[in-house]
Structure 1
Amino acid sequence: MTRHSLLSFLMPTVMVATTSWIFVAPTNAREPFPIDPLWASADFRRAFTGAYGTDGRIEPGINTAERDVLDTVATKMRANDRTGAIATLSDNPLTSGSAALLFSLGSLHFEDGNVDVAVKSFEKALAAYPNFRDAHRNLAIALVQQAKLDEAEPHLIRSMELGSRDGLTLGLLGYIHASHGRHQAALQAYRLAQLTMPSEAQWKLGEAHALLALNDPRASASIYGELLSHRPADANLWMNQADAYLQIGESPLAIANLEFARRLGKIEAAEIISLGHLYLNETMTEDAVACYREALTAATPAPFDKAIDAIDALSRFQHWTGARELADLISNSPAYAAKLASSPETPKPALRTLAHFERVRALIELETGDATSAAVRVEALVKRDPLDADSLVLLARFREKEKRIPEAEMLLEQAARDPEHESAAMRALGEMRTRDGRYAEAIEPLKQALRLAPDPRLEDYLKAVEQVADLRNP
């Protein structure tokens, strides 16, 4: 029987999705790399250019009438008449009962970007010939492009059971494994995929992602380095390698990578915030503030919660001048105006975020000499939500400064009723009593805080308090 080319299909080009990363705390549970660039690659097109053969176990036979239809379709395709080729198959009464013609019709629809229609054609081809290997594989590809990974997986596996061992099948199976958190299986699939598609960057990216998820960041960073030697303007690669460097503990290398991506102008404001955190961890405070400032004043500024994270970070490092600058930027920015407003209809999560910002502002005002305004701000928060444990703890600090110790203790005891804040409130109570010279009374709340949240520094602090208490009460 004459062999006929079963039309290759070219996936429509899709814009690459950007990935946002949290660099300060690398995680193994990240999203898989974007698969979209695969559809436009030359290796993908070559992998889908196959020959229709005569293996009756995995391919339906073609009779003379079907062969004539395929010849007509091939002639129209050589003339770049895809519409005519689709019409030839769609209008022919043979197509509805022919697995081969349905498969070819699905291929043409897929090439034309009509993925939904292509899926139906492949499904009909499989209904007519259940062991049609390439129909299983190509249906799986279409389903992956539709992000229907659970539906795609059994068809990929079935195509492999029927003998498919090409890089595309294995690589996409790796992608599905990674999407479900099966990183060891993903790693094996990506490596096997590269045996027949060694130049496909998506499989190298998948391998690097899997290695990082399996706690092998050095190997992952090495692969990203190889990819960067060919694609130095790819900001995502610089950021991904930075993530690997952070998992190794090489913060300076991660900073260098993120700076390169930043200068390419291809990272978002939220990632610039993360770069600022890294600078702050290296005590490069001015560089951190510059990053935060850039992120808050960008054309598309950082999300409100990320902006607050920046102020929080500077507050933890007691960089009050920088923290106040950022707080003022947020307060005066039209981009954040809606986030700073509240009404009875405002969702609770948004109210909690706004309260967080108000608390941080109050703390900054307290530390920069504007304690009166700060106290008023926190009092308003407690009035709005008497069960807001964070605000109760902060208000207790103001009452202590005002020498209203009994009221401060009452606020901390009230905050401790919230299980999530009990440890922090008890610790604050013990520390306040210590500052007040009541060492023996400080011991029990400090012990309670230590039981709830073990901390070596708190343990040392408690021992010191106990020693002083013993000296005071021999």
Structure 2
Amino acid sequence: MTRHSLLSFLMPTVMVATTSWIFVAPTNAREPIPIDPLWASADFRRAFTGAYGTDGRIEPGINTAERDVLDTVATKMRANDRTGAIATLSDNPLTSGSAALLFSLGSLHFEDGNVDVAVKSFEKALAAYPNFRDAHRNLAIALVQQAKLDEAEPHLIRSMELGSRDGLTLGLLGYIHASHGRHQAALQAYRLAQLTMPSEAQWKLGEAHALLALNDPRASASIYGELLSHRPADANLWMNQADAYLQIGESPLAIANLEFARRLGKIEAAEIISLGHLYLNETMTEDAVACYREALTAATPAPFDKAIDAIDALSRFQHWTGARELADLISNSPAYAAKLASSPETPKPALRTLAHFERVRALIELETGDATSAAVRVEALVKRDPLDAEALVLLARFREKEKRIPEAEMLLEQAARDPEHESAAMRALGEMRTRDGRYAESIEPLKQALRLAPDPRLEDYLKAVEQVADLRNP
């Protein structure tokens, strides 16, 4: 899906002893709406090809010879002979020095799809007549189509300074504001654009997008609902509205929207993973597994990191059967074979992702009765990277199960040297000592973990441990 990235939303999940979270990155990224559909709309064509006027403050005057050329062009255009009209202007020696004729030539080239040539004609027209309002505007439009937004913006602003207030100018200015993260300005521009182009869907989409970026998801969802009443087969609208529902906290409505998009067959595997996360957060585990399975076996499967997120999510919910199924799917899928291989040339980010998969797979094996295989897997990870704190914490679990407590403690102390994982390692150390009946010795690492990462559940756990320690050592 080519679109917009949203805020991540914290969704609580359940684990033994702790509460975890799944970060659901809703379907669309918060980037500007796609502008491409605008170029095909009837409103755009009408606005772009508006009649050339005679206001001397903002348009160059034309002499008799220029008017004769424009009359010939108009005659050819009435006969649907755009090629002939372009040739009339291109071949006439008057054109190179006439802002009016250069502007007309640029407009015809733009309509004919020759945007690069159109830009040059508009620039020449402005060189001949710098206050040519419509040349500023049309040049900006052509530059937007070339995705040269920084170059387009001053021309749009100049055309407005010269009096342009049409919906096309305002709407494109809104698009540029949104592209630069200026969402309040974008919202105002999109709303003004609708005063003269009320039926242009791109401006409504822009307004909805800006409202969502400005934390007004209810108003945004309402606009998407209005658009969906006219375009129910538009999967992007269903997904955009789902984003708004997620920001409101209406996960069931977001699920329903994403299911509509899924059944339209226009939702990508990464978004199906997100749908699975939403099902999981609603404890609809089988639906979640079905989504994950579909995403991993699609013709274009989910990216490797998203596939691992699915396994990780099921592991957090302790749905070990589903997690193992997905891990096996990934391990046996030709689509992921290259990602599962490593070499000295493998980039570090790819190695980290692969290590994450190996850690999760080891945890699944441990929880599904294959502890020996899991231990071998984690030992290999630690051998490959002795500073992998997460692998060290996991290996400590295996050593504890083997009653090799001193070695487990050493591994956790080593993991705690990584500031990013110090809290988790200290917590694991304190909990392990508690399980070993060493309550007094567990207090300090638990306190350290609590200082680093305040957690009400850990605070309660620590108080209980301190009470037991006091009872044992009055």
TM interval, short-chain normalised: over 0.9
In 1, distance between residues paired with 2:348 and 2:157? Answer: 45
1:241 to partner: Cα distance:
0.6
Q: Which moved more, 1:77-86 or 1:316-325?
A: 77-86
Match of 2:230 in 1: 230
In 2, distance between residues paired with 1:18 and 1:224? Answer: 38
1:77 to partner: Cα distance:
2.2
Measured against aligned partners, the alpha-carbon deviations of 1:412-442 in whole angstroms (never above 9, x if no partner) come to 1111111111111111111111111111111
Measured against aligned partners, the alpha-carbon deviations of 1:246-269 in whole angstroms (never above 9, x if no partner) come to 111111111111111111111001
- Number of residue equivalences: 474
Does structure 1 conserve the Cα–Cα contact (< 8 Å) formed by 2:190 and 2:204? Answer: yes
Match of 2:148 in 1: 148
In 2, distance between residues paired with 1:97 and 1:463? Answer: 86
Does structure 2 conserve the Cα–Cα contact (< 8 Å) formed by 1:412 and 1:428? Answer: yes
In 1, distance between residues paired with 2:415 and 2:471? Answer: 31
- Name the SS for the 1:22 alignment partner: strand
Match of 2:289 in 1: 289
Structure 1 gap segments, 5+ residues each: none
- Name the SS for the 2:5 alignment partner: strand
In 1, distance between residues paired with 2:147 and 2:251? Answer: 35
Structure 2 gap segments, 5+ residues each: none
Does structure 1 conserve the Cα–Cα contact (< 8 Å) formed by 2:389 and 2:415? Answer: yes
- Name the SS for the 1:429 alignment partner: helix
Does structure 1 conserve the Cα–Cα contact (< 8 Å) formed by 2:241 and 2:254? Answer: yes
In 2, distance between residues paired with 1:300 and 1:154? Answer: 42
1:8 to partner: Cα distance:
43
- Name the SS for the 1:331 alignment partner: helix
Measured against aligned partners, the alpha-carbon deviations of 1:392-422 in whole angstroms (never above 9, x if no partner) come to 1111111111111111111111111111111
In 2, distance between residues paired with 1:138 and 1:450? Answer: 61
In 2, distance between residues paired with 1:379 and 1:329? Answer: 23
Does structure 1 conserve the Cα–Cα contact (< 8 Å) formed by 2:359 and 2:391? Answer: yes
In 1, distance between residues paired with 2:228 and 2:278? Answer: 22
1:81 to partner: Cα distance:
2.5
1:9 to partner: Cα distance:
43
Does structure 2 conserve the Cα–Cα contact (< 8 Å) formed by 1:11 and 1:40? Answer: no
**Identical residues among aligned pairs (%):** 99
Moved over 6 A (4+): 1-23
1:29 to partner: Cα distance:
7.0
Q: Which moved more, 1:423-432 or 1:374-383?
A: 423-432
Does structure 2 conserve the Cα–Cα contact (< 8 Å) formed by 1:9 and 1:110? Answer: no
Q: How does 1:338-417 map to 2 (within 5 A)?
A: 338-417=338-417
In 1, distance between residues paired with 2:17 and 2:451? Answer: 46
Q: Which moved more, 1:70-79 or 1:141-150?
A: 70-79
In 2, distance between residues paired with 1:67 and 1:9? Answer: 61
Does structure 2 conserve the Cα–Cα contact (< 8 Å) formed by 1:14 and 1:39? Answer: no
- Name the SS for the 2:243 alignment partner: helix
Does structure 1 conserve the Cα–Cα contact (< 8 Å) formed by 2:102 and 2:124? Answer: yes
- Name the SS for the 2:386 alignment partner: coil
Q: Which moved more, 1:207-216 or 1:87-96?
A: 87-96
Q: Which moved more, 1:383-392 or 1:313-322?
A: 383-392
Q: 1:20 to 1:76 in 2, by over 3 A?
A: farther
Does structure 2 conserve the Cα–Cα contact (< 8 Å) formed by 1:60 and 1:132? Answer: yes
1:132 to partner: Cα distance:
0.6
Measured against aligned partners, the alpha-carbon deviations of 1:281-302 in whole angstroms (never above 9, x if no partner) come to 0000000000000111111111
Q: Which moved more, 1:445-454 or 1:178-187?
A: 445-454
Does structure 1 conserve the Cα–Cα contact (< 8 Å) formed by 2:4 and 2:33? Answer: no
Q: 1:399 to 1:5 in 2, by over 3 A?
A: closer
Does structure 2 conserve the Cα–Cα contact (< 8 Å) formed by 1:105 and 1:121? Answer: yes
1:22 to partner: Cα distance:
11
Measured against aligned partners, the alpha-carbon deviations of 1:129-157 in whole angstroms (never above 9, x if no partner) come to 11111111111111111111111111111
Does structure 1 conserve the Cα–Cα contact (< 8 Å) formed by 2:3 and 2:28? Answer: no
In 2, distance between residues paired with 1:341 and 1:4? Answer: 32
